[in-house]
Chains A and B, each alone.
Chain A
Amino acid sequence: MRQLLVLLAVFSAIAVLPAVITSEFSLNIVIMMLYAALLGQAWNILGGYGGQFSFGHAAYFGTGAYAVAVLQVQLGINPWIGMVAGALLAMAVAAFIGFATFRTGLRGSYFALVTLAFAEVLRILSNSVDFTGAGVGILIPLAPGPGNLQFETKTGFFFLIWSFTLAAFLAVWWIGHSRFGASLAAVRDNEEAARALGVNAFRVKMGAIILSGLFGGLAGVFYAQYFLYLDPYIAYGPAISVESLLVPIIGGMGTLFGPLLGAVALHTVSELTRELIGDVPGISLAIYGALLVGMVLFLPRGLAGIAARFTRRNKPAGTETRHA
């Protein structure tokens, strides 16, 4: 319960930010942090709590994004409905990928690579069919208004992503305190042992991937509505898959607050290196990469690992050593 109170307090504090931040640019950074935290939390459900490393979260992100865009542009369907459709379709894609891989017992790096391949297949398909606009991409008409799930100001988008992200964090809090979460942790730590205890590993993993797909899809819906343009590379390209896993791993896998810490840390590092280094192409990104390496060298358990050192209560769920 205490963790829930902390969670609600943190999100309440975040909700006040639009009132105190007068800079649209700064508010945009906060929005992009929440968006990264959402993507990261989506990955964390499956990767951190479930121990299934996905390299293909772009599959869910892209499906959510394309669903809301295509329904609006090709069929004139309101994006609020598109949002629901996007979430459902992303869950369906997740269920399909989960079924195909968990049924055949793929784990570890095999699972990682197969998810990557599924995302690539979707990228190629979206590049080849008419209704996505193929390589030309798809442009959502600019029509600000809450009815169109577009907002005049960044504050509107802030509350959209804030609610998506809060929902994801609440879901993960629930996972941490439910039978489902306990089964998921058991499967992650030792699948055979979990089975012996009567856990239906397949069902548990399916639950995790579908929930993960839901929030990945919502991140895609948000992206589409915020930036209004998609092409196959933006929607299903590897960049999204990488960001999804980077955020929670840096923050602390299998912890409730890890994705938030990771999102804030990564964006801060990225902003600061660019501010400090200036406009020589390449150098600021190189330093960003070096800082990533440094973080891994010195913070082997992510940022949440430091917190855990002090508080003991916020014990990272995924601390069992998995040998390299």
Chain B
Amino acid sequence: MPSGLLPSHPLDTAMPDLAIIIPSVLNGITTGSLYALIALGLTLIYGVLHIINFAHGALLMVGLYAVWFLNVQLGIDPYWALLIVPPAMFALGYALQRGIIGKASHGRDENILLVTLGLSIVIENLALYVFRSDTRIVDTPYSFETVEFLGAFLPLPKVIAFFGALVTATVLWLLMARTDLGRAIRALAKERKGAELVGINTEHVYAMSFGLGIACLGVAACLLLPSYYVTPQVGHGFVLIAFTIVVLGGMGSFVGALIGGLIIGVVEAMGGLFLGESLGQIGIFVIFILVLMFRPQGLLGHKV
């Protein structure tokens, strides 16, 4: 072993300056709201279809490329793209569930797992072929803007994302609570046979749920890209964290996903400050494991 090359600061735990804790927490909250946006779609899919969607990251990437493409080719601002990308993603999600995922399941979890895995390989590599592997960004007038709050400079795109997450969670909640579709989705999530008996078209409602979940990814993509980038592999960085949030918040709970996202954002920020940025990532997974072991229904979920 090249012993001279071994890092001598693996546990860089120097006490951080206390003055940066408040900005760090605030920043964790705004970053966490972006995670929450990605997790909202996942929790809907998880809560209703009870499937682990391996293609979630790849579909986020599709959304990001859509936003990038609209911006670079047609000059559409990422926030105006909110009118275009989420509906398009909804249609994509509906078609995927109705045309492929639902058909492939044959009533077995492992098939869904395989089919979403296969889809993610297809989507990622098609993106690599079409867009190539270059890192793409959008240049907006507000990319570098910040909002000063409690002594912290919060990037404007992230502040917008924070409110975007609140609005999206509220809209989803209203949709589930107040609409016929929402009632059908909830019925289906609880008891498939019963839902079928009362005449719910399960295939359609499953596809609507999946479509809605993917539409949430479209919203997340519009709000994320101004402060991030897109590559064919970009989704991988968010999938695990989104699952963590879904479990933390309770599968199928929108408020849980929102709060879970904020918590994970703050945990990540604090882990980074106190354990070092690399090792600090461990905090997320430790919390995840502990929550699963001691409160598997999540913070706001129902008993499983």
Contact = CB atoms under 8 A, between A and B. Distances in A.
Q: Looking at A117, A121, A127, A286, which has the most chain B CB atoms within 10 Å of its CB?
A: A117
A221 to B, nearest CB: 18
Contact of A322 (B5, B108, B232): B108
B243 to A, nearest CB: 6
A324 B109 contact: yes
B178 interface: no
Interface residues of B, number: 61
A281 B128 CA distance: 7
A323 B189 CA distance: 12
B105 A286 contact: no
Contacts of B232: 282
B1 A139 contact: yes
Contacts of B52: 109, 112-113
* Chain A binding surface, main DSSP class: helix
A100 B62 CA distance: 37
Interface residues of A, number: 57
B83 interface: no
Interface in B224-277: 232, 240, 243-244, 247, 276
Interface in B9-58: 10-11, 46, 49-52
A324 B296 contact: no
Interface stretch (A6-14, A23-31, A128-136, A160-168): A128-136
Contacts of B118: 289-293, 296
B1 A292 contact: no
B7 A136 contact: yes
A231 interface: no
A113 B105 contact: no
Given A114-B293, A296-B118, A133 B1 contact: yes
A114 B51 contact: no
Contact of B129 (A104, A138, A281): A281
A121 B118 CA distance: 26
A252 B125 CA distance: 27
Contacts of A281: 128-129, 133
A289 B285 contact: no
A300 interface: yes
Contacts of A282: 125-129, 232
A242 interface: yes
A74 interface: yes
Contacts of B152: none
A321 B128 CA distance: 37
Interface string A287-314: 0111111011100100000000000000
B282 interface: yes
Given A128-B11, A324-B108, A106 B1 contact: no
A53 interface: yes
A58 interface: no
A110 interface: yes
A101 B117 CA distance: 25
Contacts of B289: 100, 114, 117-118, 121
Interface string A260-301: 000000000000000000001111011011111101110010
B112 interface: yes
B128 A130 contact: no
B119 interface: yes
A250 interface: yes
A316 to B, nearest CB: 11
Scoring A113, A133, A291 by chain B CB atoms within 10 A of each residue's CB, the highest score goes to: A113
Nearest to B8: A130
A321 B108 contact: yes
Contacts of A105: 296
B240 A289 contact: no
Nearest to B11: A128
B129 to A, nearest CB: 4
B300 to A, nearest CB: 16
A289 B129 contact: no
A253 interface: yes
Contacts of A189: none
Nearest to A135: B7
A127 B8 CA distance: 12
Contacts of A208: none
A104 B286 CA distance: 16
5 tightest A-B contacts by CB?
Answer: A289-B121, A292-B118, A300-B106, A282-B129, A282-B128
Interface of B: 1-2, 5-8, 10-11, 46, 49-52, 100, 103-115, 117-129, 133, 192, 232, 240, 243-244, 247, 276, 278-279, 281-282, 285-286, 288-289, 292-294, 296, 304
20 contacts: A106-B296, A118-B285, A118-B289, A124-B281, A129-B10, A134-B10, A135-B278, A245-B110, A249-B111, A249-B113, A281-B128, A282-B128, A282-B129, A285-B121, A289-B120, A292-B114, A292-B117, A297-B115, A300-B106, A322-B108
Interface of A: 53, 73-74, 100-101, 104-106, 108-110, 112-114, 116-118, 120-121, 124-125, 127-130, 133-136, 138-139, 242, 245-246, 249-250, 253, 280-283, 285-286, 288-293, 295-297, 300, 321-324
